[in-house]
Amino acid sequence: MKPKCTICGKQKEISFEGDGIQYPVFSCPDHGPDERNEWELWWEQYSDRGLKKEYWSSKKDQPSCVVSYFCYQYQKFYGFPYTMDYTSPVPYKNKDFTMARRILIMFGGDVLQIPNYINWVFSKRVKTTKYPVNSLGFLASSKFVNEYKAARARSIKPKRSTNIPKSFLQWCKENHPEVVEYHELESYNDLNVLVALTDAHSAPNEALVVSEARRLGILPESGYAQLEE
Residue 1: which pLDDT band, with cuts at 50, 70 and 90? low
Helix (H) or strand (E) holding 188: helix 188-199
130/169 same-domain check:
no
Residue 109: which pLDDT band, with cuts at 50, 70 and 90? confident
72/86 same-domain check:
yes
**Confidence at residue 193, expressed as pLDDT on a 0 to 100 scale:** 92
In a domain, 10, yes or no: no
Adjacency order of strands within the sheet including 32-33: 13-17, 23-28, 32-33
- In 10 A of CB 217, how many CB atoms? 18
Higher pLDDT, 19 or 184: 184
In a domain, 194, yes or no: yes
Closest residue by Cα to residue 187 from 149, 214, 225:
225
Choose one of 140, 155, 170: the last residue of a domain: 155
In a domain, 28, yes or no: no
161/100 same-domain check:
no
112/218 same-domain check:
no
Task: Give residue 186's domain range.
Answer: 157-229
185/130 same-domain check:
no
In a domain, 190, yes or no: yes
Least confident of 11-25, 113-127, 184-198: 11-25
107/134 same-domain check:
yes
- Residue 11 sits at φ, ψ, to 5 deg, of -70, 140
Label residues 54-89 b or e (16+ Cβ within 10 Å = b). Answer: ebbeeeebbbbbbbbbbbbbbeebeeeebebbbebb
**Confidence at residue 131, expressed as pLDDT on a 0 to 100 scale:** 77
**Confidence at residue 229, expressed as pLDDT on a 0 to 100 scale:** 67
Higher pLDDT, 14 or 201: 14
88/147 same-domain check:
yes
Closest residue by Cα to residue 136 from 103, 170, 175:
103
Q: How many domains does the chain divide into?
A: 2
On average, the pLDDT of the chain sits at 89
Residue 179: which pLDDT band, with cuts at 50, 70 and 90? very high
Query: pLDDT digits over 121-164, tens only?
Result: 999 888 776 778 989 999 999 999 999 988 887 777 788 889 99
Query: pLDDT digits over 214-223, tens only?
Result: 888 888 888 8
Residue 194: which pLDDT band, with cuts at 50, 70 and 90? very high
Which whole number is the average pLDDT over 164-192?
93
In a domain, 139, yes or no: yes
In a domain, 180, yes or no: yes
Higher pLDDT, 79 or 203: 79
150/162 same-domain check:
no
